[in-house]
Structure 1
Amino acid sequence: MRPKSIVWKYFKKVDGKTVTCQICKKDLKYFGGTSNIKQHLIRIHPIQFAAENDTPTEEESYLEVTEVSTPQPQTSNITNKIQETQEFTSLSGPSGVNTSTSEVISRKRPKQLKLYGGESNVEISETKIQQIDNALINMLTKDYQPLSLVENQGFLEYSRALQPLYKPPSRKKITYDLLPKKYAEATSALKNILSNVKYISLTTDIWTSDSTRAYITVTAHFVSEDVLCSGVLATRELPGSHTGENIGTALKNLFSEWDIENKIVAIVSDNGANIKNAITEHLQLHHVPCVAHTLNLIVSDSLKSETLEIIFKKCRNLVGHFKHSSLASDKLKSVQEQMRLPLLKVKQDVPTRWNSCFIMLKRLNEIKEPLCVALASSTKPPQFPTVEEWDIINEIIKVLKSADDMTTIISSQSYPTLSMVIPLVRGFQYTLRNINTVTEVGTALKLKLLETMNRRFGGFETSKIVAKASFMDPRFKKLAFGNEENANSAEKWVSEELKLMFALKKNQTFNIQSSQQPQAEEQEENILPNIWAHFDKKISAVKTYSTPASMGMITIRQYLEMEILDRKKDPFLEFWAKHKLSFAELYDLALKYLSIPATSVPSERVFSKAGQLTNSRRNRLSPKNLDQIIFLNSQF
């Protein structure tokens, strides 16, 4: 007996010439064969059709279904800078929309699904499978999706709707095959770039996941083809105690793995004693304290005052009243509507972040009037700040505004380099001094900030590595410094380094010339009368003035005499790329010092995002997979 076609699971005969689809209730003509109604199932209900995987019966005629290619958005990264275009395929238009056969056939069809009399021939090219697999890995890593997504029923149905011929890889295949391959390709590309880079600076930070595992993240920053580049190198588990020795060993192993031990200029991290010890003592490298951490300490220390704490507590109670009471919140909204004011809500501060306190005060000051009106009808209102306290709040906001601006700049996505630190600090100090404060509390806060800044930031201008970075930036040169003495010191340090470079170059040139001079020519010189002796003596006298030191001084003078570059322009693309031939040695120093980040924010940003990977839905991730996903995510 001939097997019954599965289409009758979804269709019901009305009479001898009509059938009804049990899914969408549409009537179709029936001529005794099932090819027509099966086409309806494939085009309009592809999920149900793909789920069946039935074997067609003899009564089913030749059927052709065409794949439709759709270009995928291009992606780029710092490793290969190659834009890849992937194509997804689909069997039909959106569910419920009747796409005509002519429309489907007129589209591009690289591969066909063909069903014949008694057997099925289902095909999809290996290239297409690889393209879709690659797009899947990109989605999982770019959006930090759990790898278990491919096991979810909803995702599987969605995948079948897009391409019934494609079977998503299992979580196991992704974990042990596709993800490692993608990671290997990306790391190989980055290693190839780094092999052609002379100088690299790093940022690093230690963080703890939800599963209490400790990790250390390292990011690399360098100039490639006159473009400032950055990327994650690794996120590795850090077992055991976080001593300077253990941290140093972990970093040393990572540097060896990437073959960058002899290219590192400096490492930027927070002010923790253990990580600083690892960098300076165990690795014998330059440590640059994170400017963002230092600024946070400065402002936090300055806000430690009993008078300020009383005001902050009163403001927090006020915010809590409207945060925890829907009636109070609705009342505030109603008052703002009546007063035709923007519908702004209160902002809660976070004790560990001073700028959240600034945001809280700023918002309260903005909605002070509607707050007062809304509290008037409250049965148990919190204590409202007095007129004098509002004056103090206004001055606190003015004083902290410049600190908040600097925090925003140094924590931006397009991170600032070390060369910007000195002018930023000087600008902050100048702004603070020119703020007019009337209240005693406001004046005390301003003076405390200035004093703490001088103490914590004072060493930046006299730090060789920071001073050289500012000096080598054509936007700042010697103008960045607070006094002439510090500017001259920076020039001296750069001059000394140039002197060594010119001396090395001179020795190399001399050795090459000596090795190339023919011995026969020397013998001829000895035989002939030395009629050139007088001239050669004059030349030697002139050459004594062209010492490495004098060449360095001349180069620096020429550099300083050139016009200052606009502050908003790129120092590499707009200056050094154009002058690297005439200032070859200075260009080399620019590559060395202008790629150093001002903060460890790049590393911190990594683990802030990585928190999504270590929550309850993703706690099965091994440290190795975590490292691979974070690395690939940084490529987008």
Structure 2
Amino acid sequence: MTAAARSLPFEHIPCVAHIIQRVIAMAFRDSGFDSVLAKCRKIVGHFKHSPANTAELKALQVSHGLAEESLVQDVPTRWNSTLEMIRRLQHNKDPVSAALAQQKHKLAMLTSADYDRLAKLETLLEPCRYITELLGGEKYVSCSVVLPGLCHLLRTMEVSDVDPAYIVRFKASFTKDLNKRKESSNMWWLKIATALDPRFKHLRCLPKSERGEVWQKLSVMLKDGEPAPQSSGAVEDPEPPKKKMALLMMGSESESDDEAVSTDKCLERYKGEPYASIDTCPLQWWSAHSGAHPKLAHMAKRYLATHASTVPCERLFSLAGHIVQKKRSALSSENVNKLVCLSNWLKEEDVV
């Protein structure tokens, strides 16, 4: 299957949201956060597995002037669940400590040093949560946001002189693993997509030495031209005779310089356009500016149509899996589609 996939005429773009979560898991393994996270999981499990303990915790939350909320158990396959577990424990530090002081248990209590570590870990994971939700959101997300997102993560993981040893290990492991995974990604596709996105065409996510290479590559692609899509009923033109072909080649050589100048002007006009806001859909922007940049607009539709993540599709599969169960296996495909549509509408109504 892998060999067959490599033989297909398609470019492979890995799911960046999955990559970030794998990098975080690797950084946890190589840093010194395992022990404190193990304490957190056991404390959360102590309340999760006992309704009486949970009720006592909620009563103490009310007495401390906090809202009643359950603790969150982190799950390896549930993104950002570790961050949410840390936040809930820190927010309910006093009720949790009071409840554990009144109950019989053999749990290792969190010390002030542990809470300090959790606070630093929350600071480290917050940019990862933002990028993961940006790349794995329900709205359209182009692969052109990948390079700026990864650049933002790498900047937040720069080692400072005041960082403790465990923070340095986490940042070093995170940066090393992320750079390694970047090398195995289709970087040229991502660079061209970033340049064709009116929000990130300044290419500040790349070193200055690489920006010129991207625009040069884009210029060569414009000169070569990409094959235009043909309808199923299109009739191909017959091959011209050899003499006519020779004459055409002679004429094309004299016009090659003019074509190069035209291509450079096309790129300069695009560079001179105002930057689009971060909330702008790049495909809608190109649809509105296709008349001014016809060649670039055709290329942008191909590159910006590439999704950065498979998360929305996987969420849709999971939703359909919850609907089509053993007891509901007789549902018709039409009713399944209607139920999935209603579920989406109800979710949007809750958000509003």
For the aligned pair, the TM-score class normalised by the smaller chain equals 0.7 to 0.9
Which residue number in structure 2 is paired with residue 297 of structure 1?
22
Cα shift readout 1:536-572 (whole Å, capped 9, x = no counterpart): xxxx9xx646433332122112211222222222323
Segments of structure 2 that go 5 or more residues without pairing to the other structure are 229-236, 241-250, 345-352
Which residue number in structure 1 is paired with residue 215 of structure 2?
491
Name the SS for the 2:110 alignment partner.
coil
Name the SS for the 1:404 alignment partner.
helix
Q: Mapping of 1:40-55 within 5 angstroms? A: none
Q: Does 1:395 align with 2:120?
A: yes
Cα shift readout 1:435-458 (whole Å, capped 9, x = no counterpart): 886432223212221222211124
2-structure distance, mates of 1:434, 1:310: 22
Cα shift readout 1:123-150 (whole Å, capped 9, x = no counterpart): xxxxxxxxxxxxxxxxxxxxxxxxxxxx
How big is the shift at 1:633?
Answer: 4.4
Q: In 2, are the aligned partners of 1:416 and 1:597 still within 8 Å (CA)? A: yes
Q: Does 1:416 align with 2:141?
A: yes
How big is the shift at 1:614?
Answer: 3.0
Which residue number in structure 2 is paired with residue 565 of structure 1?
276
Equivalent residue in structure 2 for 1:472, among 173, 196, 199: 196
Q: 1:630 to 1:413 in 2, by over 3 A?
A: same
Q: 1:568 to 1:452 in 2, by over 3 A?
A: same
Name the SS for the 1:572 alignment partner.
helix
Q: Mapping of 1:312-351 within 5 angstroms? A: 312-351=37-76
1-structure distance, mates of 2:275, 2:54: 53
Paired residue type of 2:97: C
1-structure distance, mates of 2:140, 2:152: 18
Q: In 1, are the aligned partners of 2:136 and 2:310 still within 8 Å (CA)? A: no
Which residue number in structure 1 is paired with residue 310 of structure 2?
600
Q: 1:278 to 1:601 in 2, by over 3 A?
A: farther
Paired residue type of 1:280: R
Segments of structure 1 that go 5 or more residues without pairing to the other structure are 1-243, 245-273, 505-510, 515-539
1-structure distance, mates of 2:162, 2:305: 39
Q: Does 1:382 align with 2:107?
A: yes
How big is the shift at 1:381?
Answer: 5.2
Name the SS for the 2:13 alignment partner.
strand
Which residue number in structure 2 is paired with residue 308 of structure 1?
33
Name the SS for the 2:225 alignment partner.
helix
Q: How many residues align?
A: 325
Q: In 1, are the aligned partners of 2:36 and 2:114 still within 8 Å (CA)? A: yes
How big is the shift at 1:469?
Answer: 0.9
2-structure distance, mates of 1:630, 1:578: 33
Q: In 2, are the aligned partners of 1:292 and 1:411 still within 8 Å (CA)? A: yes
Q: In 1, are the aligned partners of 2:31 and 2:170 still within 8 Å (CA)? A: no
Q: 1:502 to 1:447 in 2, by over 3 A?
A: closer
Q: 1:403 to 1:577 in 2, by over 3 A?
A: same
TM-score by structure 1 length? Answer: 0.47
Q: In 2, are the aligned partners of 1:314 and 1:383 still within 8 Å (CA)? A: yes
1-structure distance, mates of 2:136, 2:256: 48
Cα shift readout 1:354-407 (whole Å, capped 9, x = no counterpart): 521221122111111211112111122522112222211111111111111111
Which residue number in structure 1 is paired with residue 6 of structure 2?
280
Q: In 2, are the aligned partners of 1:300 and 1:354 still within 8 Å (CA)? A: no
Q: 1:318 to 1:465 in 2, by over 3 A?
A: same
How big is the shift at 1:326?
Answer: 2.6
Q: In 2, are the aligned partners of 1:418 and 1:598 still within 8 Å (CA)? A: yes
Q: 1:596 to 1:480 in 2, by over 3 A?
A: farther
Q: 1:459 to 1:616 in 2, by over 3 A?
A: closer
Equivalent residue in structure 1 for 2:328, among 615, 618, 632: 618
2-structure distance, mates of 1:288, 1:433: 26
Paired residue type of 1:367: N
1-structure distance, mates of 2:49, 2:196: 53
Q: 1:294 to 1:370 in 2, by over 3 A?
A: same
Q: In 1, are the aligned partners of 2:31 and 2:167 still within 8 Å (CA)? A: no
Specify which structure has the higher proportion of strand: 1
Q: Mapping of 1:38-437 within 5 angstroms? A: 244=1, 274=2, 277-281=3-7, 283-305=8-30, 307-353=32-78, 355-380=80-105, 382-433=107-158
Paired residue type of 1:322: F
For structure 1, which segment, 412-421 or 303-312, has the greater mean C-alpha deviation from structure 2 after superposition?
A: 303-312
Q: In 2, are the aligned partners of 1:399 and 1:435 still within 8 Å (CA)? A: no
How big is the shift at 1:315?
Answer: 1.0
1-structure distance, mates of 2:161, 2:88: 22
Q: 1:634 to 1:455 in 2, by over 3 A?
A: farther
Which residue number in structure 1 is paired with residue 165 of structure 2?
440
1-structure distance, mates of 2:5, 2:140: 22
Q: In 2, are the aligned partners of 1:336 and 1:342 still within 8 Å (CA)? A: yes
Q: In 2, are the aligned partners of 1:417 and 1:595 still within 8 Å (CA)? A: yes
How big is the shift at 1:628?
Answer: 8.4
Which residue number in structure 1 is paired with residue 231 of structure 2?
none
Paired residue type of 1:599: S
Paired residue type of 1:496: V
Paired residue type of 2:121: I
Q: Mapping of 1:565-584 within 5 angstroms? A: 565-573=276-284, 575-584=285-294
1-structure distance, mates of 2:59, 2:274: 58
1-structure distance, mates of 2:265, 2:6: 34
Q: 1:545 to 1:604 in 2, by over 3 A?
A: closer
How big is the shift at 1:627?
Answer: 8.8
Paired residue type of 1:465: W
Q: In 1, are the aligned partners of 2:226 and 2:299 still within 8 Å (CA)? A: no
Name the SS for the 1:285 alignment partner.
coil
Cα shift readout 1:86-115 (whole Å, capped 9, x = no counterpart): xxxxxxxxxxxxxxxxxxxxxxxxxxxxxx
Q: 1:403 to 1:437 in 2, by over 3 A?
A: farther
Q: Which entry has the higher C-alpha Rg, 1 or 2?
A: 1
Q: 1:499 to 1:408 in 2, by over 3 A?
A: same
Higher RCO (CA < 8 A, seq sep 6+): 2
Name the SS for the 1:563 alignment partner.
coil
State percent identity of aligned pairs: 26
